[in-house]
Amino acid sequence: MTGPAATWEARADLVVVGSGVAGMTAALEARDLGLRVLVVTKDDADAGSTRWAQGGIAVVLEDGHEPGDSVDRHVADTLAAAGGLADPAAVGSILADGPAAVAALRRRGAVFDPAEGVGAAGALALTREGGHTAFRVVHAGGDATGAEVERALLAAASSAGSSAGPVAMLTGHVAVEVVRAGGDRGPVGGLWVLDDTGRLGLLRAPAVLLATGGYGQLFASTTNPDTATGDGVALALRAGAVAADLEFVQFHPTVLYTGPGARGRRPLVTEAVRGHGAVLVDSAGHRVMAGEHPLEDLAPRDVVSAAVTRRLAATGTRCVYLDATALPGFARRFPTVFAACSAIGVDPAADPIPVSPAAHYCCGGVVTDVDGRTGVAGLYAAGEVARSGLHGANRLASNSLLEGLVVGRRAARAVAGELTGPRRLPAAVDAVLLGGWAPADRDLVQRAMSRGAAIGRDGAGLAAASDAIEAATAPAPGLSRAVVEDTAMTLLAQAVLAAAGTRTESRGCHVRTDFPRTDDTYQRSSLLVGCSGGALTVRGAADEQTQGVA
């Protein structure tokens, strides 16, 4: 059975969904390799998560690293943070390519902060963040690294300076469904997209790269922008790809506390502030991280967020404080954080900064190899949407921009090497668009997830969240960007809850109050292997469980 036909069509060799660091890096590389590439974004090109990244890019530069540091040490820190679930081969492969990827980004025009002092000429400034045993994070604009990366990539894409011309951008179009040629089992043949007026378009292409970011908007309070609704994971699952480790949602420990009712995107206070010596204290002035971990305030992020959450519960307070009053030159080194603090009347030079954890990064996602290939021919994923094996149960700080740079480039090369001709596609939309999945109210999803699936989950809370979302799920009256996003969020919420429910242990970002210990029998990924016919199947962390979802 078929539904409405596309009102317009276009062709490309590669369609990239998303214009953050992974998507634009892939698009530029693909253009330079001579591919016809089209970047699709549902909003403005700079509306994704990349521009909000503060700390920087973790990389061991050949010509400017801390004495004694090495890629092997960066690998060891990444594996130590990852709670036993990262893939050592993937970690080694991706991090080893970091210096070349950063060099390529600099050639595209990104400007990083220079080191200061005698003998520093030409070197980049390095900072340290949680879980890193060395100063190896390069940054831009003090604490505006993501904004600089985004600026440079978008400028390079719009530049007519390249002999290949600017990268074609289709903004204001949400990706609705990946089209597979020859029915459900064939290779990718393109992508259905929808504009704000409800006009459907068909992009015919033998390769689609998902670079849509994560699903932080599942939670009421997050560092992520409104666009982070899990669209890419939902698209991939509905197209038959596999996702894993979705239960590992990383909460950043130091997000500016702006009041009890704060919802949506909240300002980050970069971990680099702690890298420069700031410490976390509770409302009584007691250190939060003393005795919690050998690295104290620079422990891996999951450890710090869990400790802050426990301290908030023990003290009955809503925020702890980041004391940066001893740091010289705060406003110059951290202008973005300074501006956010100033906006709520906090002067970091004089006042401890009120902070609390908020959803920040999705460690799991669409299962890919280190070149961005999913299990579906022609479907690729890179960046936060993907689970490449780099992050495991807890991502090491500032490894995400690096992953986007490395895997974005590699994915473009993989597409170029595997390019096939156009494929025969159906001329009209499959009547069961969105795979038969229906949305629940976004606000309800966010409240249910924040109550039942944040740091400190238990079986009863996870089940209650799932029941509440299922009860609120109802067929949508029509197709719109909001329906596409809410359907993705509903699918993702149920997937996170199902994966978290089967993992009856605590590991990395997944903290269960009813199973507080790490259990070696669960040292493997949960694989979300199917989502057709309104049912999710979670396999791997425990016995297979199928969960029907309305």
Q: Which residues are catalytic?
A: 301
Residue from 397, 405, 414, 541 binding ligand SIN (CB under 6 A): 397
Is the Cβ of residue 154 or residue 337 nearer to ligand SIN in the bound state? Answer: 337
Residue from 245, 271, 323, 485 binding ligand SIN (CB under 6 A): 271
Looking only at the bridges linking them, the beta strands covering 137-138 and 173-180 are: unpaired
Backbone angles phi, psi at 437, to 5 degrees: -80, 150
Is the Cβ of residue 29 or residue 403 nearer to ligand SIN in the bound state? Answer: 403
Task: Find the shortest distance in angstroms from Cβ 163 to ligand SIN.
Answer: 35
Residue from 93, 224, 270, 309 binding ligand SIN (CB under 6 A): 270
Give the interface segment with ligand SIN, choosing from 43-51, 266-274, 417-425, 451-459 (CB under 6 A).
266-274
The number of residues in the chain equals 550
Is the Cβ of residue 137 or residue 465 nearer to ligand SIN in the bound state? Answer: 137
Residue from 127, 374, 398, 490 binding ligand SIN (CB under 6 A): 398
Task: Find the shortest distance in angstroms from Cβ 481 to ligand SIN.
Answer: 27
Is the Cβ of residue 139 or residue 503 nearer to ligand SIN in the bound state? Answer: 139
Task: Find the shortest distance in angstroms from Cβ 398 to ligand SIN.
Answer: 4
Task: Find the shortest distance in angstroms from Cβ 295 to ligand SIN.
Answer: 15
Asked if residue 54 binds ligand SIN (CB under 6 A), the reply is: yes
**Alpha-carbon span 462 to 36, nearest angstrom:** 45
Query: What one-letter code names the amino acid at 119?
Result: G
Residue 543 is classified by DSSP as S
Q: Which of residues 334-363 bind ligand SIN (CB under 6 A)?
A: 361
**Alpha-carbon span 366 to 404, nearest angstrom:** 14
Find where tokens 């300002």 sit. Answer: 267
Is the Cβ of residue 144 or residue 169 nearer to ligand SIN in the bound state? Answer: 144
Task: Find the shortest distance in angstroms from Cβ 196 to ligand SIN.
Answer: 31
Is the Cβ of residue 242 or residue 308 nearer to ligand SIN in the bound state? Answer: 308
Find where tokens 């603090």 sit. Answer: 341
Give the interface segment with ligand SIN, choosing from 281-289, 331-339, 378-386, 394-402 (CB under 6 A).
394-402
Which two tokens mark 282?
């509770």
DSSP string, 224-282: S-TT-S-HHHHHHHHTT--EE-TT-EEEEEEEE---TT--EE--B--THHHHTT-EEE-
Does an H or E element contain 452, and which? helix 442-452
In the bound state, the residue with its beta carbon closest to ligand SIN is: 55
Q: Which of residues 302-341 bind ligand SIN (CB under 6 A)?
A: none
How many residues interact with ligand SIN (rule CB under 6 A)?
A: 11
Give alpha helix (H) positions in 48-130. 71-81, 88-96, 98-107
Burial class of residue 30 (count of CB atoms within 10 Å of its CB; 0-12, 13-18, 19+): buried
DSSP string, 470-523: HHT----SS--HHHHHHHHHHHHHHHHHHHHHH--S-BTTB-BSSS-S--GGG-
Binding site for ligand SIN (CB under 6 A): 54-55, 129, 268, 270-272, 361, 397-398, 400
